[in-house]
Amino acid sequence: MVIVFDIGNTNIKMGVFDGDELLYTLRMASTNKTGDEYWLLIKDMLAVKNISPRDVEGVIISSVNPNLNYTFEHMVETYFGTRPLTVGAGLKSGLIIKYDNPKELGADRVAGCVAAYKLYGAPCIVIDCGTATTFNVISPDGEFLGGAISFGLKAASSSLADTAARLPKVELSAPKSAIGKTTITNMQSGIIFGYSGMIESMVARLKKESGLLSARVIATGGIADIVNKCVSVIDVVDRTLTLRGLNILYNMNKR
């Protein structure tokens, strides 16, 4: 079995794979826990699924949260008895990175693009609706051409409520119409439909600039399902895309 960790700014996602099959997932908050504290959470989850650390042949980590890198690397070495692979420069991905400085490209974006390219084909545009929203463009030849980074929906919604004294925090769900009749539905309309409009506009612009008009659009992230109901440009929603990409990367690079 292989365990993959996607360490983000808000959450840590963990997946347990048996070959290509994703058996289990776990989500934890990205807090300042020690490696021992994270291990207790992980150990309990594995025990519930009757998995022993001895069953784990390897671990791979992608991280955009440098504060947790050492914590997880040390935890894996201590409790799984193996040195984890980490997504970064020098790791084979099967993609040709056209970034001016490939080292700047987020590890989670690499993993998501690897999975999209391998599982859904290219050309494609990968959208990750997470703490930030990232757009990634991949050519038919597996070239990562670049993309865009924008605000995340949850962060934008929280910021609106935090900075406007009379506006409450609202549930992230689409109202029945764009013309709201209450403060809550006004906010939901602006937040959800406004964000969806940004997604549609960016996809159209990326397709036009790249010339990849037939590119499939694959969306992932916690709110991808919400957005998909409000737009017509998304072809596939795969909330496990990054985890699957990490498993592919592990198998490409395992020692």
- Cis before 123? omega within 30: yes
Residues sharing a CB contact under 8 Å with residue 51, sequence separation 6 or more, in sequence order: 1, 16
- For residue 108, indicate whether it is catalytic: yes
DSSP the chain: -EEEEEE-SSEEEEEEEETTEEEEEEEEE--S--HHHHHHHHHHHHHHTT--GGG--EEEEEES-GGGHHHHHHHHHHHT-SPPEE-STT---SSEE--SSGGGS-HHHHHHHHHHHHHH-SSEEEEEESSEEEEEEE-TTSEEEEEEEEE-HHHHHHHHHHHSTTPPP--S---SSSS-SSHHHHHHIIIIIHHHHHHHHHHHHHHHHHT-TT-EEEEESTTHHHHHTT-S---EE-TTHHHHHHHHHHHHH--
Catalytic residue among 18, 36, 100, 108: 108
Any idea which residues carry the catalytic annotation?
Answer: 108
